[in-house]
Amino acid sequence: MSRLSFEVEDQDLLGRNGRLETKSGIVETPLLFPVINPKVQLLPSREIKQSLRCEAVITNAYLLKKNFGDMPLERGVHALLDFDGVVMTDSGAYQNLLYGRVKISPAEVIHYQEAIGSDIAVILDVPTGWRVSWDYARETVEETLRRGRELFTLKAREDILWVGPVQGGRYIDLIVRSAKAMGELPFDIHALGSPTRIMEQYLFTTLVDMIIAAKTNLPLERPLHLFGAGHPLILPLAVASGCDTFDSAAYAIYARDGRYMTERGTAHLNKLRYFPCSCPLCSRYNPEEVMEMDEEERVRFLEGHNLHVCFSEIRRIKQAIKEGRLWEHLEWKAHGHPALTRALKRLKDYREILEKETPITKKAGLFYFNSIGLNRPEISRYCKRLSERYSTPRNTVVLVLMPQAEGGPYHISAKKQSFLEELNRELGDLNGKVHVCLYKIPFGVVPLELDDVYPLSQYEYVTPPDLETLEYVSNQISTFITQRNYKGAILLLDVKKDQESEYFAENFAKTCRLKGVSCKIQKSENIWGKESLGNLLRDIRDLISRI
């Protein structure tokens, strides 16, 4: 990565907190670059930096050249924008997509961005667009790749981070082809192009597919940028899918249209009676007062507020990654729109890559709300490893499945620990033939010796669990029994939990019958009482005597 670096500090799912070094300083990711157009900008760049602690902005090199002549060359892009942070410049490719042609060559754009002193620069790629044929999309991929290769014969400076765009639009096979080829070139950053129409139509499942297709076929050590994404509604999903940086003009476009951003969507200012925000701007005015402002003042207010909402969301994402709670944050955000919930469910298709990149242990426990959480890496990873790596203790012939201990591992509960100690004493020499396991929502079977392992006791879940969760746990119990050679099995059920008892008892008995395992089901209102212990000892001895 030239002489500069990208260092990852925290990671969760495919999201990561990092530090990106540029010639104008180090910026933290995830990072949002507000789009600055000095020709129409009402909220000054200096004010954006001071009031929002904005580290970086993006402007359009083609529009600078078109609208300001030699001024950017004479003053430099930082002075022109009055911004002493990091400045990224786009190449005009988006204008090419909108209008069909820009009057500048790929070589001119490269030399121009070097001359004005960009910190991060983008080649003049060929955006694929949305409603185009596969053949046309392939041409955009190949031409963008040709221009990407050309960069390294033309560029003169080594202190600029160059962005290698990935094209292909909605054609995932072309995104994969583009990402692999661009990843072989020594770019510092990569960017996924053509997402705007997809986000406008709320096709978030397609967006997830596109991002992960690019991410998994690019060098993971390089940041991934997402063009045209800056709404707080979509940012967490994009980060979790693998994006590190974003740019957006939505804050200003919405402001000019009288639209007010919120965490969960966008509202028209004239329909608001109260501001659902306590940023410095919203704390000073109410909607009626803002409506009475002159147009320029009102637009500035909305631009400032919209940026506050965007940057607040970026900070929430960073903190969620830091705490290992990005999945919980995604679930919370998914309630903002059904399309987000569908996209979160789509992550099920990417369990393997999410497991690989998510830390094995975290500083905080998990919150499990409903069956959507079954797709999170911690759960799928445990079930996969239990199936592939766990060996039953030697000489055991009887499996005893007991309910989980609420409030932590078994050794924390004096009542349950006493129950197990008494069971071991009474069994005596039979201990080695009995394997005690727990069944836990949402993990399924947890051998007692693994009860302390993260996250098997470091979590909380909603009761009663939904039907999909019960079905999943029941199936995990069946898989565990099917994969092992027990001769007998006993299931302890709490009759106060009718729903669980019904699901687990029926499936347990069916699995044992098909496997040829002798089984008993013990139901009790006081699982940890003396009567329950006596019944369990009787059933264990009975099964062992018949084996």
How many CB atoms within 10 Å of residue 370? 14
Amino acid at site 472: Y
**C-alpha span between 57 and 402 (Å, rounded):** 57
Is residue 196 within 8 Å of 228, Cβ to Cβ?
yes
Cα separation, 114 vs 168, whole angstroms: 27
Give the 3-state secondary structure percentages of the chain, helix then strand then coil, rounded to 5.
Answer: 50, 20, 35
SS3 assignment for 482-547: HCCCCCEEEEEEECCCHHHHHHHHHHHHHHHHHHCCEEEEEEECCCCCHHHHHHHHHHHHHHHHHC
* Residues 6 or more apart whose Cβ sits within 8 Å of residue 480: 386, 437, 444, 445
* Residues near 247 by beta carbon (within 8 Å), at least 6 away in sequence: 32, 33, 34, 35, 58, 88, 90, 225, 227, 228, 229, 230
CA distance 196 to 208: 13
Known active-site residue 12: no
CA-to-CA distance for 89 and 86, rounded, in angstroms? 10
Catalytic hit among 12, 90, 244, 247: 90
DSSP state of 356: H
Token pair 């045209």 is at which residue?
Answer: 228
Residue 27 and residue 55 in contact, taking contact as beta carbons nearer than 8 Å = yes
Active site residues: 90
